[in-house]
Amino acid sequence: MQRWAFLVLAMVLSGCQRGDAPQAVDYQTLGELRVATRLDPLSYRGGAAADAGGYEHDLLLELGNELGVPVRFRVYASAARALDAVRDGDVHLAAAALGKNGNARRIQWTPPVRDLSLLVASSAALSGEISTLNDLAGRTVTARRGTLAAQRLRELQSTLPTLTIDLKTGESDAQLLAEVADGRIALVATNEAQLAMAAALRPELESAVALPGVASMAWALSENAPQSLVDSLSKFIRQAHDDGLITRLEDRYLGPVRRLNEADITWFVERMQSRLPPFQPMFEAAAEETGVDWRLLAAMGYQESQWDPLAVSPTGVRGLMMLTDDTAARMGVQDRLDPAQSILGGAKYFSLMRESIADNVAEPDRTWMAIAAYNLGLGHLRGARQVANTMGHDNTTWVSMRRVLPMMSKPRFARRLRAGPARGGEAVIMTENVRAFYDILRRLGNSGDDAPTALSPSASVKAP
């Protein structure tokens, strides 16, 4: 009798009847939303929970806030295993940079989270050799097994029978693109977001030719998931598109990688190896004292001086962090050309800028605005925010302020600023460059080889 009672209880908790596919315990009963993901630059960037990120990661944290439960991420080795976790009832949904695929068994999909253009990527060594789909005849294109890019290649084979497709299992798009950059494989079928992420670290990568159609990235649920959860996800995604959350996240993760050109990236990566090492302990010490990520400080230092402690500008700013004489005095810097003093002074000044921004500006927009204020002054930033408000723009987001700031040098807008005209366009360029350099430092400093294990109250990670 006890054995049968246990079996009945297990069936109730799993939310399924005999013969049905397993179903995860309701997230409200469980007290958390369980999400299957994988290490991927677009979906989930590993690290300690406080340092974890990714386009889908951040979007899911917003979903958890909407549902009133924390999100527990389970990191799987591949997208296929993440989908298996949904089918097996181990998680409520999978969000792993998945292309919406109607052929996936026992899976239903949310509305599209974002659209993705599919393409074939190559290295610069093949530049000009492939400009149309017909140029793929007689060539081998590599793709991840089970992806929409692989599916499009198979469809293309009907008109290009000499096209060879090499399907890979267990390797991410980022790994395959790295092999293209290293010359180990020639062509990879992927999407524009994955290529943009990879090219930010390996600028020799480029799009060779576009594949037909547009793919949709979406979240996967079990075919027998509760309708209430399906409806909640659909409503959330629609609202995220309508209220600009999707746009802000795209800017957060895809905006920086589009700023730099090939030469910028090449020089930065080279100087990371040749110039940064002796200054890294100084950045880390400043971070320890101010609470600012050392990699962000290093990115600012590179933008200011290319990590040259003796840098001097025609306007009189000096040192690795390019401090004015007045700012240096306020921050207790006695010698602006001393790199340790300059870095700590710059960190303190940036921290002051960030703390002085209005409380209604949340992170990471607060940090981006503080970088702009580091360049043009807090008074000018506050004036620009007031102008943005009168123009009907959301002055709490960097996406909006990035459009408004360049106007501050024009007389009709400068007249509204108590502090006078502002070099708003210059501040935007600096901020966008710092964001890009910071993104590279974070990604190169986190190889993603190990699944994250640290937990936080709002989001936790588990590697099965």
Question: Residue 439 class from Cβ within 10 Å (0-12 exposed, 13-18 middle, 19+ buried)?
Answer: buried
Strands 107-109 and 459-462, bridge-based pairing: unpaired
What is the C-alpha separation between 265 and 203, in angstroms, rounded? 7
Q: Rounded to 5 degrees, what are φ and ψ at 386? A: -65, -40
Contact 181, 115 (CB under 8 A): no
Cβ atoms within 10 Å, residue 273: 8
- Catalytic status, residue 304: yes
Catalytic position from the list 56, 155, 223, 304: 304
Residue 281 near residue 275, CB atoms below 8 Å: no
Alpha helices in 182-338 (DSSP H): 192-199, 227-242, 245-254, 262-274, 280-290, 294-305, 325-330
Residue with tokens 């959860």: 229
Peptide bond into 226 cis (omega under 30): no
| C-alpha to C-alpha distance for 154 and 439, rounded to whole angstroms | 35
Q: Which residues are catalytic?
A: 304
